Chain A
Amino acid sequence: MPLLGVLCMGVFFLIFFIFDDSVEFFKKDVKIIFLGIVLLLWLPFSVGFIWTNALNAIKHLAGGTVDVRWQSLMCEIDSNQRLQGLLCSIAATEQAVRKEVSKGVSYCLLANPTAQLYMNYEFYGYYRQEDCAKADYAFVSKSDKKIGTRADHLLIYDSSGQPTDIGRFEITVVDEKLGSFILKRK
């Protein structure tokens, strides 16, 4: 892009200063030539970018495999790879969870008080503490003080410090980057 920008200026510089005033076309239409060069350089990149974006959205709307590489953190989510999806990023997680929830898979998504982002789930309605007792999966933040374990049982502490045993889980995936792990009901 920068090189194209310099090229753009350079070509116009040539047209603007080298061609003689006696060449009527350049004298009259110098603005249009400028605009033409700019658009020729502009459109291929922008159209490509826009089309790629639109293709992702169309795929998503059509309900097939979703490529959510809209941001650097994103990765490929396949609707069958629920846990892989959960690791991609918060946003990708959300997309994966939505798909799974719509298919009847239930999650216990626990808020992390140190990372406000996890609160998001509470407001999406995916996180309800009472649902955790029967959830198929639990998505837990390591640093969450409300979470504890006893043997292979997962505990949730309420505000008074009383634990609720939500059943036996096994760790399936640990994501060091997000500081979270995913458990599957045994």
Chain B
Amino acid sequence: MLLIAVALGWPLAGVLFKERSQPEKLALAWLLGAFVITWQLFIFLFWLKAGTFWWFNLIFLAEAIILWLFLKAKINWRDFRAASGAKPGLLDKILLCILALVIMLSFVNACGRGNIGWDSLNIWSIKAKQIYYSGRVIFDSNNPASWQSRAYLQYPWHGSLLYVWGNELNGSYSDAVNNVINWFYYVSIIILVYGFLAIRIDRRGAAAFTLMLASAPIFYFHSFNSYSDLMLGCYAALALIFLWRAWLGSKYAFIGLSMSLVAAYTTKNEGIFALLAASFFLLVFLTRQKKWRQLAWFVGLTGLLLAPWQIFRMVNHLGIANSTAVTAWHWDAIYQFWRTFWLNASFNIFAWVVLAVLAFAAIKIYADKKLLVAWVYVALLFSAFLYVYISTTSYQDAVYDTTISRNLITIFPALVIVTALSWQKISKK
């Protein structure tokens, strides 16, 4: 599974991350390859109503070969050292060893658990199970195994389709496959965040902040549970990385941005916040630079990638929200956000680190336009969730504290990136 997804994503990663190290390309190849596969699976299963799986893999492999030839993809091993240009010190090595241990322990968990989280059981895994055991998507709504029979019809299918495909390749249904897929996402975002930070701050800071990302209790917990929040968090952070690269003048960053944003939107509905926020910044940037061709490509590609799921959503009258607007504002939700992020231990003390970094580096952040935009991107995601909880029936979820911490996971990797970049600016001068 990993091989097919990476083979498909590798040529794209080669173009989009041309100067980056091989581990980063591998991580990006998985994230993009997984998206390309589920995007097609959705068309095969929901639009073409196809019923077998083996020939899907032949198509994916054929596409991989064509992409390798067309984009002249190569494997040229370069390690992080070559990419960051510095030699790791003893402390860096210790931090990286702890990081490796955390990743390995997460893998043990992924292999040793069932799908025991509520949403995992009730939404993401069971949808996959229905398709797996039925051998196709059942459209007869009277059938208890039809796609309409489950709750949360309006939820996108990226995670579940990835689980179906992974289990098909596994040969039998196993919860561990679903968990390990999430673990792949976990490892990918760790590599990408470390790689991104290592050349922009320093190895020690990059290792420390990546370790905080990897070992924040709730983020770690999701690394071996088949929810979709961690996947969304990966794509939201990847969008930030591509936005940053677009700002730096990377020619094809808009392609990566478009793919990661649509991937976010087809992973969870909350991905629309990332889609709107990052698209807005890119459009402003490209308009100011008068890069009309890139702008047209970005809009066209994003529209094309969005079409299968968005049209399906419209045809089947699927809304996007879980909740409805309420007449009164529920300001108590703000306290719940405060409690979840700052007073609970879900993110260890990271929320306090954010406050401290902001307090000590605010002026320098304001002076750095790229960093400021990155902070605004994260703040917009945060505000969007806050707005939903204040103004809709979702405030009940806030009061009972069932969803906020999971929502914050979707922001967390991006927040770690901007906090680490801002930490670099702390000084007395």
Contacts and interface: CB of A to CB of B under 8 A. Distances in A.
Interface stretch (B59-67, B113-121, B295-303): B113-121
Q: What size tier do the contact residues of chain B reach?
A: 35 or more
Given A45-B345, A70-B116, A91-B114, A8 B352 contact: yes
A8 B106 CA distance: 27
Interface in A24-48: 27, 30-32, 34-35, 38-39, 41-43, 45-47
Contacts of B117: 71, 91
Contacts of A4: 349
Nearest to B212: A42
Q: Give the interface centre of B126, B130, B205, B349 by most chain A CB atoms within 10 Å.
A: B349
Interface in B169-224: 173, 204-205, 208, 211-212, 215-217, 220-221, 224
B291 interface: no
Contacts of A58: 108, 112
Nearest to A62: B112
Interface string B355-396: 110011000000000000000000000000000000000000
A1 interface: yes
Contacts of A91: 114-117, 121
Helix, strand, loop or mixed for chain A's interface? Answer: helix
A94 to B, nearest CB: 6
A68 interface: yes
A68 B129 CA distance: 23
A50 interface: yes
Interface of A: 1-2, 4-6, 8-9, 12, 16, 21, 27, 30-32, 34-35, 38-39, 41-43, 45-47, 49-51, 53-54, 56-58, 60-61, 68, 70-71, 74, 90-92, 94-95, 98, 111, 116-117, 119-120, 122-125
B102 A9 contact: no
Contact of A53 (B132, B221, B360): B221
B276 interface: no
Contacts of A125: 133
B122 A60 contact: no
Interface of B: 98, 102, 105-106, 108-109, 111-117, 121-122, 126, 129-130, 132-133, 144-145, 149-151, 173, 204-205, 208, 211-212, 215-217, 220-221, 224, 342-345, 348-349, 351-353, 355-356, 359-360, 423-424, 426-428
A48 B348 CA distance: 12
Of all A-B residue pairs in the complex, the 5 with the closest CB atoms, nearest first, are A5-B352, A91-B116, A57-B112, A54-B105, A46-B215
A30 B342 CA distance: 24
Contacts of B122: 116-117
Nearest to B208: A35
B349 A38 contact: yes
15 contacts: A4-B349, A8-B349, A8-B352, A12-B356, A31-B427, A45-B217, A46-B216, A58-B108, A58-B112, A60-B112, A116-B149, A123-B126, A123-B133, A123-B145, A124-B129
A47 B98 CA distance: 9
Contacts of A35: 204-205, 208, 423
B348 A1 contact: yes
A55 B266 CA distance: 35
B356 A9 contact: yes
B121 A27 contact: no
A1 B344 contact: yes
Q: Give the interface centre of B108, B173, B216 by most chain A CB atoms within 10 Å.
A: B108
Contacts of A27: 428
A90 B121 contact: yes
Given A2-B343, A42-B348, 6 more contacts: A8-B349, A8-B352, A30-B427, A49-B217, A58-B108, A70-B113
A31 B201 CA distance: 11
Contacts of A92: 116
Contacts of B360: 12, 16, 34
